[in-house]
Structure 1
């Protein structure tokens, strides 16, 4: 098993940026209840004032959590071989603006995008510090499910608090409101040992004005156990230089394996997005067509030896089980 340097897409800025930006080791983890031996469910704490806490100024000043990660590509996560599965998306009750993004040629250089209704930013606090990641509204039985990276929910055994989702975020604006998280579902292999190959979490958000998230902005489809080497379009809100975290960007390309960590199951596409893009969705077919789009991974990490690529986990049986648990949860 080889050892590789992987950079979580919280931020991939520089080693110098580590100072003062990591979560203090003294932070206490909140106990989580097991959903089963493959999935862990966590109820967020301190959510009563979460939406009001996240003012425009706080959202614009929130940081991407800078860290570098030296990890073994263990490949210890055991995935069942299941048939391909696709859950289609769901349209909102009322039409929303700017619902599609055109096909883009493959390029490691990120492309500026207009705000898209299902894609947004998650904001959260850890030890009193304000942080951000990217996320997407995905269809589920509760119509209240958001996909993101697991390391945006739990990093080194510590859970985030004051967690909200802001779809179509741009320059501090929340055109569809702030959606307060209730709980999160993540693979137990991430919670126990931070296996990068399952770096995905699904977060359940509460209703706003009696409406679910999917009713309001729609929700894209999701797919599991698909072929490898597909063409993807990945989105995110990169915050590390030269980006500012205030606008949506995308990269498009055909996925290849992480050749320096072959024991894992991650795939990478050409992409120069930086920290803050963690958790942003990957869509099959190399395009975003609103709620007919199908998500099949998230932005997870950068590889020092492949600097022009961004990697995402393969959505196999474990992430499918995680999604199923989240989909069946209550979206009160």
Structure 2
């Protein structure tokens, strides 16, 4: 198995390039709501049908043939229309906290370069009908069915639409699906992203359909969630950057983050397709588990990646979505 290592010592400064493709300005915005509140939507097919049965979830899996997965486009900007931020990034209003991680029920196939907790996300973008790819990770919760990713990997932002045919493939590798596939059942993201494309709120959580009776976290393990921690943290970031191995192999990067305009920053040079990959505190190489404290959102011309800050609002999103089954 190939291993990849990228350790960061310093961060250059450059203009941000957003890893999200922004919805057209003509899209009708949703009603104005507090940026830090969230909205949930049932998962839909391209035809607008709800993915509300196991049979419908299997249809999504069948849609994603090896050829469609191979040809899916790493989500990269067509322009820089997202707002860098529409206001001050969230500040912690309470003490740091974490929820527990959970080990898988079966065999652990983890190395630092490739963990079963991280995987690849495939979906169809409504505004152009094309297939795209992001990254995500399993997040332990009461449901055992949840994944966490970037807001722009579930919704177009700026008043656009929810992504369709959404499917998560844990530890994808060159077309292999060692843990199967998990279609979305319900998606949730911040109204700050939905209405304004505000990068302070580029986070989403997705409840997935089980594979038969086997739930995502039981199969792959799931990270805990951290919130209200310092913006300077030692982290391990995993994902599928399209500028490395064509996004066909999971990569990792580790280093100490810095505070960049209220966001977390680390110079991993992870391009399109890495969006939504986990930024993990206290990552344990033996278990492949950690505490998710961010998700990849943007990259700049110097290769510096950024994540929205995880504060009380992310914890509230977790509370709202974590028991949905």
One fold, TM greater than 0.5? yes
Match status 1:82 vs 2:94: yes
What's the counterpart of residue 322 of structure 1? 317
CA displacement at 1:198 relative to structure 2? 1.9
Q: CA 1:86–1:309 in structure 2 vs 1: closer, same or farther (change >3 Å)?
A: same
For these two proteins, the number of residue pairs brought into alignment is 294
Q: Is the alpha carbon distance of 1:138 and 1:28 closer, same or farther for their aligned partners in structure 2, counting shifts above 3 Å?
A: same
Matched, 1:313 2:308: yes
The correspondence of residues 2-81 of structure 1 with structure 2, limited to 5 A, is 5-10=15-20, 25=24, 38-46=37-45, 47=51, 48=56, 49-67=59-77, 68-70=79-81, 71-76=83-88, 78-79=90-91, 81=93
**Relative to structure 1, is the Cα distance of residues 29 and 178 closer, same or farther in structure 2, using a 3 angstrom cutoff?**
farther
Q: SS at the partner of 1:191? A: helix
Take 1:77 and 1:290, find their aligned partners in 2: how far apart are those partners? Answer: 33
Q: Does the Cα contact within 8 Å between 1:86 and 1:221 map onto a contact in 2?
A: yes
Q: Distance in 2 between matches of 1:186 and 1:246?
A: 27
Q: For residue 280 of structure 1, report the CA deviation from its aligned partner.
A: 0.4
Which consecutive residues of structure 2, in runs of 5 or more, have no partner in the other structure? Answer: 1-13, 46-50
Which runs of 5 or more residues in structure 1 are unaligned?
11-21, 102-112
Q: Name 2:108's counterpart in structure 1.
A: 96
| C-alpha deviation, 1:56, in angstroms | 1.1
Structure 1's 77 and 226: CA in aligned 2 closer, same or farther, altered over 3 A? closer
Matched residue of 2:74: which SS? coil
Give the secondary-structure state (helix, strand or coil) at the position aligned to 2:304. strand
Structure 1 match to 2:291:
294
Shift, 1:76, TM fit: 4.2
Q: Find the aligned partners of 1:194 and 1:26 in 2 and give their Cα distance.
A: 11
Question: What root-mean-square deviation, in Å, do the aligned CA atoms of Structure 1 and Structure 2 show?
Answer: 2.6
SS at match of 1:293: strand
Q: What CA distance in whole angstroms lies between the structure 2 residues aligned with 1:168 and 1:324?
A: 26
Q: Is the 8 A contact 1:198 1:318 kept in 2?
A: no
SS at match of 2:242: coil
Residue 131 (structure 1) aligned with residue 132 (structure 2) = yes
Q: Does the 8 A contact of 1:283 with 1:296 survive in 2?
A: yes
State the distance in 1 between where 2:288 and 2:103 align: 6
State the 1:8 CA deviation: 2.1
Displacement, 1:325? 0.9
Say which structure is richer in strand.
1
CA gap of 1:192–1:27, structure 2 versus 1, over 3 A, is closer
Give CA deviations for 1:254-308 in whole Å, capped at 9, x if unaligned: 11122xxx3xx2010121111100000011136544364111101110134xx13
Distance in 1 between residues matched to 2:145 and 2:204, nearest whole Å? 14
1:176 aligns with 2:179: yes
CA distance in 2, matches of 1:93, 1:65: 32
CA contact (8 A) 1:8 1:278 kept: no
